[in-house]
């Protein structure tokens, strides 16, 4: 069942009807509908949102690290519907080393965003066309945006290393 504050929202109702087990939490987070969904359902859910609910744009994907809470990661998807002028946030909660399917085949803009989340958080995306590091150099060790990675890096200077 959807909480009262969300029951009026047609998108949330439509998702709830199609994927009754997928929505774990629904809330209006500072003026925007935010749904916490199950990781296994992310690709069919996104495909449904793109084709039937009109969310033809993926604005971005990012991660949030809640270490030392468990499960530690959140992956947040920002969806945008051009024809309805509506926005939606999907949140997936993942444990460390847990994989999630890539939504590249739903929206191509997921490509670089998922690479960035993989690079900076270490969350692997299955079925991504080229999951390489994008911001950090390709041989970097560690994932900088994690909370257990120090703000200024592990070394004082990386200048004179091989």
Partner 1 sequence: MKEGNSTVASLDAEHELHTEDPSGIDQVGETPGGPRRMVLNMGPQHPSTHGVLRILLELDGETIIRARPDIGFLHTGIEKQCEALRYQQVIPLTDRVDYLANLSNNLCYSLAVERMLGLEIPPMAQWMRVMLVELTRIASHLVWLGTHALDIGAMSVYFYCFREREEILKVFEMFSGQRMMTSYIRIGGLALEPPRGWHKAVANLTVRLAKAINEYEGLLSANPIWMQRTKGVGFLDLDIMIDIGVTGPMLRAAGLKVDARKDCPYSSYEKFDFDIPTRTGNDVYSRYEVRIEEMRQSVRIVKQTLDGMPSGDWQADAPGILLPDREKMKTQMESLIYHFKIVTEGFRVPAGSVYQVIESPRGELGYYVVSDGTANPHRVFMRTPSFANLQSCGAMLEGIPIADSIAALGSMDFILGDVDR
Q: How far is the CB of 69 from partner 1 (least distance, A)?
A: 10
Range 67-96, binding partner 1 (CB under 8 A) = 76, 78, 82, 85, 87, 89
Q: How far apart are CA 105 and CA 127, in angstroms?
A: 9
Determine the interface stretch with partner 1 among 4-12, 16-24, 40-48, 126-134 (rule: CB under 8 A).
126-134
DSSP one-letter string for 71-88: S-EEEEEEEEETTTTEEE
What does the block give as tokens for 142? 């560690």
Instruction: Kindly indicate which of the ranges 3-11, 13-21, 38-46, 136-144 contains the residues binding partner 1, using the contact rule CB under 8 A.
Output: 136-144
From residue 142, how far is each of 17, 21, 112, 153 by CA, in Å?
A: 41, 35, 19, 10
Looking at the Cβ atoms of 98 and 105, the one nearer to partner 1 is 105
Selected binder of partner 1 within 132, 155, 157, 160 (CB under 8 A): 132
């Amino acid at each position: 069942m959807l909480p009262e504050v969300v029951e009026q929202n047609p998108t949330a109702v439509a998702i709830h009807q199609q994927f009754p087990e997928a929505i774990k939490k629904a809330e209006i987070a500072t003026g925007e509908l935010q749904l916490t969904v199950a990781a296994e359902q992310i690709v069919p859910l996104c495909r449904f949102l793109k084709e039937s609910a009109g969310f033809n744009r993926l604005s971005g994907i990012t991660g949030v690290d809640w270490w030392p809470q468990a499960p530690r990661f959140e992956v947040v998807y920002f969806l945008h519907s051009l024809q309805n002028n509506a926005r939606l946030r999907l949140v997936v909660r993942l444990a460390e080393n847990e994989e999630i399917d890539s939504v590249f085949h739903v929206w191509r803009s997921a490509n670089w965003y998922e690479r960035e989340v993989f690079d900076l958080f270490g969350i692997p995306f299955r079925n991504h066309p080229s999951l390489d590091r994008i911001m950090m150099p390709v041989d970097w060790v560690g994932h900088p945006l994690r909370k257990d990675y120090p703000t200024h890096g592990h070394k004082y200077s990386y200048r004179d290393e091989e």
